[in-house]
Amino acid sequence: MEYPTVRPRRLRRTAALRALFSETTLDRGDLILPLFVHEQNRSEPVTGMPGVKRHDLDGLAVEVEQAAELGLGGVLLFGIPNSKDAIGSSSRDESGIVQRALARARSEVGDHLVLIADTCLCAYTDHGHCGVLDSEGQVDNDASLEPLALTALSQALAGADMVAPSDMMDGRVAAIRQVLESAGQPNTGILSYAVKHASAFYGPFRSAAGSSPSEGNRRGYQMDPANSDEAVIEAQLDLSEGADALIVKPAMPSLDLIARVRAETLAPVSGYAVSGEYAMIESAAEAGLLDRREAVLESLLAIKRAGAGSIITYHASEAAKWLRDQ
Ligand code: PBG
């Protein structure tokens, strides 16, 4: 069968035909909004990420309420503490910034929004690495598991529906699952950053969260962007350790991995359109090089088409408004 019998353009002729035959749709409820909360008592803008703020607790309350009204699926909270030390103690303080933020968010929105807490040490350590260091200054995998698990537990107790470990230590999902079970928190979910490349696209985030490593880089624990089979191994490992759902990031540079992880594990996959992806669209739009709304919606659609059931994106609230009003 070939042209002119077959004419794919017949299904593209009108908006109604295109809508009827589209294979992928974006839903507001698939979007997860990352939010930064700090211990100052005012909100301030994040350099390089127009529209994104480091919120105080009142600003956070407004954001989560708006997110719920817009019908978003969830929010992903990142705490930025005032005090840092070598072992990231403030990450697991029951009255720490992210713990207070979770409690406040819960009191604002009840169960209308899934509250997810990023679980990592990098914003809480004075050296900026995602785990604790050994005597040679290397990230000590096994010594990092307990502080990470205690961080996750404190987030669960503060009201998180899910914890999202982003540190990339081996065995952290099992360690978190075990601590949650033994502390009577069996229903707290784990949305693990299973596939996380050592990526240049996290740049704006690190200045927002003040979490750049003071020495070295994260290549000893985050994945090599060259690897794809390893992404499947990481995903399977996290599932076997008790992860309920998986994150792949950065999203647009990893569409192939979203597709593979989804096809090979069947687990729910969330694509994380990271800070650098946001900044790229914002700066190209600012320079008049592309249509912002079209570019944002197209990129979200591509992440969904690749196989992500949900998308973590700094554009979540705005995209939800566009989807609502279209
Ligand atoms: C913490 C963490 C990072 C991101 C999410 N959790 C930064 C990093 O690994 O350096 C990046 C998110 C983004 O760039 O938007 N480990």
For residue 177, the model assigns a pLDDT of: 98
Count CA atoms within 13 Å of residue 237 on its CB side: 17
Does residue 304 have a pLDDT over 90?
Answer: yes
Averaged pLDDT, 1-7: 96
Span from the CA of 202 to the centroid of ligand 1 (angstroms)? 6
pLDDT band at residue 270 using 50, 70 and 90 as cut-offs? very high
Check pocket membership of 158 for ligand 1, CB cut-off 6 A: no
The string of pLDDT tens digits covering residues 20-69 is 999 999 999 999 999 999 999 999 999 989 999 999 999 999 999 999 99
For the Cβ of 118 lying below 6 angstroms from any atom of ligand 1, the answer is yes
Question: Which residues on adjacent β-strands are paired with residue 263?
Answer: none
CB 8 within 8 A of CB 2: no
| Beta carbons within 8 Å of 114's beta carbon, 6+ residues apart | 32, 73, 74, 75, 161, 162
| Ligand 1 atom closest to residue 202's alpha carbon, by position in its atom list | 14
Tell me the HSE value of 111 on the side-chain side, using a 13 A CA sphere: 0
Task: Provide the pLDDT confidence category of residue 137 given band limits of 50, 70 and 90.
Answer: very high
Q: Percentage of the chain surpassing pLDDT 90?
A: 98
What local confidence, expressed as pLDDT, does residue 295 receive? Answer: 98
pLDDT at 266 over 90: yes
- Give 230's pLDDT tier (boundaries 50, 70, 90): very high
CA torsion through residues 309, 155, 275, 108, sign: positive
Q: pLDDT tens-digit profile of 81-125?
A: 999 999 999 999 999 999 999 999 999 999 999 999 999 999 999
**pLDDT for residue 48:** 87
Distance in Å, CA 303 to ligand 1 centroid: 18
Query: What domains, with CATH codes, occur in the chain?
Result: 27-246 (3.20.20.70)
C-alpha closest to that of 168 among 114, 122, 227, 212: 122
User: Residue 326 — very low, low, confident or very high, per pLDDT cuts 50/70/90?
Assistant: confident
User: Looking at residues 306-321, what average pLDDT do you find?
Assistant: 98
Cβ(310) – ligand 1 distance below 6 Å: no
For ligand 1, is residue 120 a contact (CB within 6 Å)?
yes
**Residue 275, ligand 1, Cβ within 6 A:** yes
Across the chain, what does the average pLDDT equal? 97
Pocket test for ligand 1, best of 195, 211, 275 (most atoms within 8 A of CB): 211
CA-nearest residue, atom 5 of ligand 1: 166
304 is catalytic: no
3-state secondary structure of 85: strand
The reported pTM is: 0.97
- State the distance from the centre of ligand 1 to the C-alpha of 288, rounded, in angstroms: 28
Local confidence band at 158 (pLDDT 50, 70, 90 cut-offs): very high
Provide the H-helix boundaries in the chain.
Answer: 15-21, 57-69, 97-109, 141-157, 172-182, 203-209, 229-240, 255-265, 275-286, 292-306, 316-325
Write the CB contacts of 269 (distance below 8 Å, at least 6 apart in sequence): 245, 246, 247, 248, 258, 261, 262, 307, 308, 309
| Ligand 1 nearest-atom number relative to CA 166 | 16
Q: For residues 169 and 152, what is the distance between their CA atoms, to the nearest angstrom?
A: 14
CA of 206 to the centre of ligand 1 (A): 7
Q: Angle at CA 46, nearest 5°, toward 164 and 102?
A: 35
pLDDT of 254 > 90? The answer is yes
- 140 pLDDT band, cuts 50/70/90, is very high
Per the CB < 8 A criterion, the answer to whether 113 and 67 are in contact is: yes
Ligand 1 pocket, residue 313 CB under 6 Å:
no
